[in-house]
Structure 1
């Protein structure tokens, strides 16, 4: 019997150790029959399941043009091929049949799926038109020896869900927001340094999210908040905000530099951190604390390695809220041997809880500001 495992539960060194003929499957949505999948793959010993892609295809509830959708999927699968994996597949509902010639040879496994006979309701429902639509985007990316590939997705998903439910003292109502399902795939322009990291590609990423906004604007939605759990998404999200504002002049579309980075988040970080500047760059004190609070079962603290002795100057350094006037993108293995930029050993679940509360409060505050501006 095939042992199915979640690809994004692994650390990057565990991905590096996988045999390159291990089947890896990217499902469109969830609810597939693993026994049937086992037969389709000729009964392999192990099979890795990537995080389900949440929407974009026909009958998914939020459909975008085929060529844009499949361009995103192809780039993700190519990331795995670039890492040497030879059995890489997309798992799709029966009836999904890409027509474009450039995707004709895409390795697609198909199964009967409820969505083909009973299309999902619109996402978001039309009843949510007067709310800010939260668009949480994480990533599947290496986070050192001690954290899984799913860190960015888990954290931004928790923040988005908390934002929707957040109740302030005045008014005593949940925020006027609705969250799309979290997207577990973003952009990494330095993925080759360590195994496991995927890359949607900057242009495909921008095209995909512009198509999502186009679709929702056509349905009457007009307030959007692109929320990123991954630093590599940020510059592309800024472009999307600019494109959206130019194309749709009566909407309000916004984003920020990561989470926990505005006035509320920065104050909480300063109050509770114990690491010095450089201790929160990547897989450091902040993200590890979040994970110890949210998913301690996925943390391997016995493997944590602090790396803070990376290249920095007064105008170029890396911490959670980055500073300096220089922007650069050197290969990660120039600075880190383990994939971590920071001091994960300083992390605690208690700090993670406090920082999550601050991150949610900050996002809820942003939601109300978006309503005011629009």
Structure 2
């Protein structure tokens, strides 16, 4: 396999040092997914496959602005452990593990780090990782879950109502069909929206509820699906995928140049308050 310049691990350590010292330093992207149930119709690799595919395609199109790290293939899954095959990394361990990676990257001189998430339940943990990376290093670090990069495209083409895109539903199934339909068993796809929904509590990847509640998954879904997988198509999946990749490239170009103000520690410097000498 020839060397791929946008892959972090394809460089030697002196080469990475030169990249880190460059005035045109790329954004380091750390993808993370999970191994978990995705209904009767899709394999356990959905989150890993989708986020990897989106990151790799974005890196190809980003004109050198992305330096893509190897995928972290496991995530926080305690609530999915009733489903055979799911791999769970406890939240404290996952936080420290991912933080060790981002702090290592920052230690080597990289100043912009994005954590690209493919699994919704990782996000509260990754938000803490990003915040601690900022507070404990000189790097600027942020995280996102990929559907948020394509909100307009998804809203334009989705056919399901609220909760139709929560988990293994219209969105993820459509993108998987676009990328590799041979691994999706649409004859086993179901619509399963079993959680009691209310004014304040529901579940959807695109329009989350104001109150966050996550119970053990089998209490409201016996299939592993939460949403409507039956209306997924490869055609919609292509639009969703392209929307996410396009949004990712634009995000990276913005994040790379994002200005950062000077910090002021008012324990060391007297504040300048209007009207006071």
Q: Give the TM-score category using the shorter length.
A: 0.7 to 0.9
Shift of residue 208 of structure 1?
1.0
Corresponding residue for residue 220 of structure 2:
335
State the number of aligned residues.
248
**CA offsets 1:204-263 (integer angstroms, 9 cap, x no match):** 111111111222222111110000000011000000011111101x3110112x11214x
The CA RMSD measured in Å over matched residues stands at 2.0
What displacement does 1:124 show?
A: 8.4
Is the Cα–Cα contact under 8 Å of residues 81 and 87 in structure 2 kept in the other structure? Answer: no
TM-score, structure 2 as length reference = 0.84
Alignment check: 8 A CA contact 2:81 2:88 kept: no
Q: Does 1:128 align with 2:19?
A: yes
1:361 aligned onto 2:246: yes
Alignment correspondent of 1:241:
130
- 1:124–1:178 contact (8 Å) kept in structure 2: no
Specify the alignment match of 1:84 in structure 2: none
Give me the whole-angstrom Cα distance separating, in 2, the residues matched to 1:255 and 1:192: 25
Name the counterpart of 1:346. 231
Q: Which residue of 2 aligns with 1:223?
A: 112
- Within the alignment, does 1:165 sit opposite 2:80 as a pair? no
Distance 1:123 1:242 in 2: 29
The question of whether the paired residues in 1 share the 8 Å contact of 2:50 and 2:176 is answered with yes
Alignment match, 2:268: none
Question: For residue 294 of structure 1, what is the aligned residue in structure 2?
Answer: 179
Contact 2:30 2:71 in 1 (8 A): yes
Counterparts of 1:128 and 1:296 in 2: how far apart (Å)?
38
Deviation, structure 1 residue 154? 0.4
Deviations 1:126-165 (A, max 9, x none): 3432100011111111101000000000000011111112
What residue is the counterpart of 2:262 in the other structure?
A: none
Distance 1:124 1:346 in 2: 47
Shift of 1:121: 3.4
Aligned to 1:269: 154
Q: Which runs of 4+ in 1 moved over 2 A?
A: 119-129
* 1:168-201 Cα deviation digits (max 9, x unpaired): xxxxxx2511111222111113022211111121
Aligned pairs for 1:67-78 within 5 A: none
TM-score (norm 1): 0.63
Q: Which residue of 2 aligns with 1:260?
A: 147
* Residue of structure 2 aligned with 1:144, choices 22, 26, 39: 39
Name stretches of at least 5 consecutive residues in structure 2 with no aligned partner: 1-7, 260-277
SS at match of 1:253: strand
Structure 1 residues 120, 323: closer, same or farther in 2, change over 3 A? closer
Q: Equivalents in 2 of 1:134, 1:193: separation in Å?
A: 32
SS at match of 1:261: helix
Aligned-residue offset at 1:341: 0.3
Deviations 1:44-76 (A, max 9, x none): xxxxxxxxxxxxxxxxx98xxxxxxxxxxxxxx
Q: Which residue of structure 2 lines up, in the alignment, with residue 209 of structure 1? A: 98
Shift of 1:309: 4.0
Contact 1:175/1:364 (<8 A) preserved: no
Contact 1:132 1:224 in 2 (8 A): yes
CA gap of 1:231–1:343, structure 2 versus 1, over 3 A, is same
The answer to whether the Cα contact below 8 Å between 2:26 and 2:67 also exists between their aligned partners in 1 is yes
Per-residue Cα deviation, 1:261-304 (whole angstroms, up to 9, x for no partner): 14xx1111111111111111100000000110112121111111
